[in-house]
Every structure is written in C-alpha cells, then in structure tokens.
Structure 1
Amino acid sequence: MQEQTPEQPQAQVQARDAVDDIVDQWARERPDLDLWAMALVGRYNRFQSHVESALREYFSLHGLDFSEFDVLATLRRSGEPYELNARALLKSAMVTSGAITNRVDKLSAKGLVERRPCATDRRAVLIRLTPAGKELIDRTVAGHVRNEENVMSALTPEERVTLDGLLRKLLIAKEGSPQT
C-alpha cells in the first residue's frame, strides 16, 4: 500500500493491484513510454475476466451460456409476441449470421425458441420465445441483474454514474450513437 504523504488526503491513498506491478516494471524498463493507457486497458481486461466468470457461473446454474441468455433476453425485451427476425437478432448481438444460427439451433434444441415463417415475407424466418423460453428468461433475469450488481458492488453510487458515463463516452467514440 502506498504511504500517505502530508499533501495527499486519506481518500486519495489507494491500494496497489497487479496492474501497478506490471506498469512499474515497464516504467523501469522503458521510462520513455507513457503507460496510462496500458494501466487502464489492463485493469479493464482483468476486471472483464471477473465479470465473465461471474456471468458464466450464474448462467450455468440455469443450463445456459452467455450467448444463449443474450438471445433469450433480446427476444423477451422486444415485447410481445417475443419474436424477431434473424437480422434484428444479429444487430442486437453484433456477431456473425453463422453465430446467430448456431445460438438459435441450440436454443431450439432445448425447446426455448422456435422458428416460424414470416407472414409478410416468405423468405424470412422469425425466431420466437416458446413458453418455456419465456418462463426461463423471466425466472433468470432478476438473478442476473443481482449478479451484475454484486460484481459492481465495490463502487459507490456516484462512482457508478461516473464509470457509466466514461464507458458510454468510449463506446460512442468507437461505435457512434445508435440511430433512433
């Protein structure tokens, strides 16, 4: 832990983490580099692995993986009749069409979604939640939110707002704002 200096208030003294050691080593070996981005990305990546682990563990309790939960949640939040075409699912998930097909195949085999012909376009197929799929997503989503809250629980409400705003700013810089 860093020592507190007379100029540094107690609230600003922070414990060290594993990334500090990595950055210190690089600073020693390459003092010419400004390592702020390495520190941020390193912390982001390490924290993301903890988030993924918590999500994977929770979803596995319900016989799902993250990608399956994502499809079920996308269909559920779309509103009744809880169905979308593959293009809409693809846009929401931002993966390849093959990945969506694989996810829908797995969920269909589990009886959680069904494919239905589109009444207005014979070439299109709609993916719809089955009653079992709706029941599963309704049963798991509240626990999922609690799990995410637990992962973020070290932050104060003010810190949550700050982090949310900063992450939004980074995403908009890379992806732009969605067209509404």
Structure 2
Amino acid sequence: MSKDTERALKLFIVLSRASKVILEEAHIPSNKYGLNPTEFAVLELLYHKGRQPIQKIGQKILLGSGSMTYVVDKLEKRGLLERVFCAEDKRITYMSITPEGVDLMTSIFPEHAENIESIMGSLTVEEQEIAISLIRKLGLSVKNLS
C-alpha cells in the first residue's frame, strides 16, 4: 500500500471518528427534550427558515421521503409541526412550526448553540476557519466525482 493510500485511509478514519463523537455530543441538548437528531434538524430548519415544502425539508437535511413522512408525522402528533396545504397546487404540502414548536426551539436552541461553540472551542478561530475551508473543499470535490 502506498503512503498516499495510507494517509488517505488515516484521514478517513480520523474524520469518521471525530464526526461520530462530535455528533453524539452535539445532540445532548435536544435529546434531553425527547428529540432525536432528525427531529431536531427538521424543527431547527423550520424555526430558522419558516414554512417549507415537505420535499425541500428532506433535501435540506438529507433524508428520504419515506423517512421524512415518518419524522413529520411524529412531530405533528406532538403538536410541534402542522401541515399547510397549498391552495394553488394540491401536490405541494408545506410544513410549518407551531407556536409549541417555536417555544420548544426557543428553549433548546441557545443551549444547542452554546454546546456547539464549546465543542468547536478546542480549535482557535483561525483553525476553525481553516477547517471550514478544507472540509468544504473535500466535500465539494467528492460531490464532483459522482
């Protein structure tokens, strides 16, 4: 095995392990409120971006349509989301966060943001900027391969 292959494999393992522990730590605040990572992602998107077509939500948080329906149904049953049917095009269904959902996110999000800042705080501001640039470059290059 070449040195380049060994280095690429090592980078892959380091990124994978770091991603796993970062994600586990990042989801602690939302877990305390009974939300799994996908449910939190849906609520967070609607909390910050407002009403969205259900298809766009799945695309933005990288979730398939079957899984998306399941997550939305669970959140709707909890009274955190509601379906809004498009009057102009019956094929489009929007999801909107309810006042209860807004209250929940208002409680969770500041703690979530502080937690993320703390997690990333082991890197200096300059290192964070470099990491953003390098990881974005890697992601875009992989996307262009397919």
Structures share a fold, TM > 0.5?
yes
Are 2:121 and 1:153 aligned?
yes
- Please list the CA deviations of residues 25-75 of structure 1 after superposition, one character each: whole Å capped at 9, or x if unmatched: xxxxxxx43211111111111111211211232211122111011101111
Candidates 17, 33, 36, aligned match of 2:2: 33
Are 2:48 and 1:77 aligned?
yes
Q: Which ranges in structure 1 are unaligned for 5 or more consecutive residues?
A: 1-31
* TM-score, reference length from structure 1: 0.74
* TM-score, reference length from structure 2: 0.90
> Take 2:33 and 2:108, find their aligned partners in 1: how far apart are those partners?
8
Q: Aligned residue pairs: how many?
A: 142
Candidates 62, 66, 80, aligned match of 1:94: 62
> Take 2:140 and 2:67, find their aligned partners in 1: how far apart are those partners?
25
Q: Which ranges in structure 2 are unaligned for 5 or more consecutive residues?
A: none
Contact 2:81 2:101 in 1 (8 A): yes
Are 2:15 and 1:47 aligned?
no
Candidates 120, 123, 128, aligned match of 2:96: 128
Taking only aligned residues, the RMSD between alpha carbons, in angstroms, comes to 1.4
- Please list the CA deviations of residues 134-162 of structure 1 after superposition, one character each: whole Å capped at 9, or x if unmatched: 11112211211111111112111111111
Structure with greater proportional helix content: 2
Which aligned runs of 4 or more in structure 1 are off by greater than 3 angstroms? none
> Take 1:144 and 1:38, find their aligned partners in 2: how far apart are those partners?
32
